[in-house]
Amino acid sequence: MRKLTNILVTGGAGFIGSNFIHYLFKDTDFDGRIINMDSLTYAGNPENLTEIDENFGGSRFFFEKADIRDYDAAEAVFKKYDVDTVIHFAAESHVDRSIFGPKDFIDTNISGTFSLLEIARSFWENRDNVLFHHISTDEVFGSLGDTGFFYENTPYDPRSPYSASKASSDHLVRAYNHTYGLPVTLSNCSNNYGPYQFPEKLIPVMIMNIKEEKPLPVYGDGKNIRDWLYVNDHNSAVWAIVNSGKTGETYNIGGENEWENIKLVNVLCEKMAVFLNKDKEYYKKLITYVKDRPGHDRRYAINCDKIKKELGWKQSVDFNAGLERTVQWYLQNQDWIDHVRSGDYRNWIEKNYSGR
C-alpha cells in the first residue's frame, strides 16, 4: 500500500472526477488532502462538489482554477500543496466535439498531459513515494467485431480525434516511466454512467429528452455496442490501482455489461415510463434514427481479469440498479440540469470562480 498524503485530482469538477472526490470522502478511509485543479470548461461544474466544499473546504479539500496546459499555474499548485500523487482525469472527452473541433483535444489531452508530466518529473526528482495515475479510455483500442475483448496488451488503433489524442497521452505517460523512471500507473475504462454527467452523453441526453418528450436520436442502425460501467465502480478501481497497483502497469476497468445503443434506449424509455407514470410505448415512438457519426466504432468490450486477479477489484453495482439510480438522480436534480444548460452558466462561473 502506498502512503498518499496530498492528492492532486485534475478535472475534478467534471463528471468522473467529481464522483471520484465524493467517493474518496464518503467511501474510503483516506485522511489526507484533496486538491481539485480544474479550468472549468463547459463540462466542469464546481456545483458538483458543493457538499464536499461545505464539509471539508479549507481543511482537507481545496480548489484551484488552473489549466493543465499552463505550466506555471500547474507547477504553482504542485509547490503550494506539496503534491505527492496525481490522478489525471482532466481531458476533452466527447467524440462528437472532437470530430468538429479537434484542436482542443490535441491541446488539452496531449499538450496538457505533457505539461503535467514535465512538472511531476521536475518536482519529484529522485522521489519514490509518489505516483502519477493516468485515466484513459477503451476507445484507444479501436473497434471490435462481434466477438473478442480488449486486453491490456491489445494494440492501439484509435479511430477519432478524441481517441487518437488519448492514445498519444497514454504513450507519453509510458515514455516518461521508461525514459525517466517517473512512477506511473494507467487505466483504460469503458463507458461510464451515473450522476453529474454533462448532458451531451447518451444516457443523460435520453433521460432528459424522454422527460421533455423530445426526439430520441440514435446513430445509424442503433446496433453499436458499448460496455457500461457505473461511475463509482470505476472510481473504486482507480483507488485500488493508486493504492496497490504495480508501477508502470496498465489496468483495464470494464463493466462486463454490453448493450446495443438501441436496446439501452428502449430500456430507458421503460424505466422513465415507470418513474413518470406514463406509457412506455409512447416514449419509444420518440426514437429517431439519424445519420451515423463519422468513424463510429461498432463494438467495445473490455476484459478486466487483470485488475480482478491482481488487486481484488470487482464491480458492485448491478446495471439495472445503477441505471435506476441514474434516472432518479436526473429526475431529482432538475435545478442542476437547468443551470448547466442555461445561457448564463458561463457568466456565473466567471463571476464566482475567476480569481480562485
pLDDT of residue 349: 45
Q: What's the per-residue H, E or C state across the chain?
A: CCCCCEEEEECCCCHHHHHHHHHHHHHCCCCCEEEEEECCCCCCCHHHHHHHHHHHECCCEEEEECCCCCHHHHHHHHHHHCCCEEEECCCCCCHHHHHHCCHHHHHHHHHHHHHHHHHHHHHCCCCCCCEEEEEEEHHHHCCCCCCCCECCCCCCCCCCHHHHHHHHHHHHHHHHHHHHCCCEEEEEECEEECCCCCCCCHHHHHHHHHHCCCCEEEECCCCCEEEEEEHHHHHHHHHHHHHHCCCCCEEEECCCCEEEHHHHHHHHHHHHHHHHCCCHHHHHCCEEEECCCCCCCCECCECCHHHHHHHCCCCCCCHHHHHHHHHHHHHHCHHHHHHHHCCCHHHHHHHHHCCC
* Catalytic annotation, residues: 138-139, 162
Is 88:116 a contact under the CB 8 Å cutoff? yes
Q: What pLDDT was estimated at residue 346?
A: 52
At 124, list the grid cell.
519529484
C-alpha cell recorded at residue 297: 466504432
* pLDDT score recorded for residue 352: 57
Residue 101's alpha-carbon distances to 41, 92, 143, 162, in angstroms, are 15, 11, 22, 10
pLDDT at 96: 84
- Give pLDDT, residue 355: 42
Q: What is the dihedral of CA 227, 232, 233, 237, to 10 degrees?
A: 120
Q: Please list the pLDDT of the chain residue by residue as tens digits (356 residues).
A: 788 999 999 999 999 999 999 999 999 999 999 999 999 987 888 999 999 999 999 999 999 999 999 999 999 999 999 999 999 999 998 888 888 899 999 999 999 999 999 999 999 998 889 999 999 999 999 999 999 999 999 999 999 999 999 999 999 999 999 999 999 999 999 999 999 998 888 999 999 999 999 999 999 999 999 999 999 999 999 999 999 999 999 999 999 999 999 999 999 999 999 999 999 999 999 999 999 988 899 999 999 999 999 999 999 999 999 999 999 999 999 989 888 877 555 555 455 544 43
> Which domains, ranges and CATH numbers included, belong to the chain?
6-197+229-256+298-318 (3.40.50.720)
**How many residues does this entry show for the chain?**
356
Amino acid at 67: D
Short-list 90, 35, 95, CA closest to 67: 90
Query: Looking up cell 484513459, which residue turns up?
Result: 136
| Centroid of chain to Cα 172 | 19
C-alpha cell recorded at residue 162? 478524441
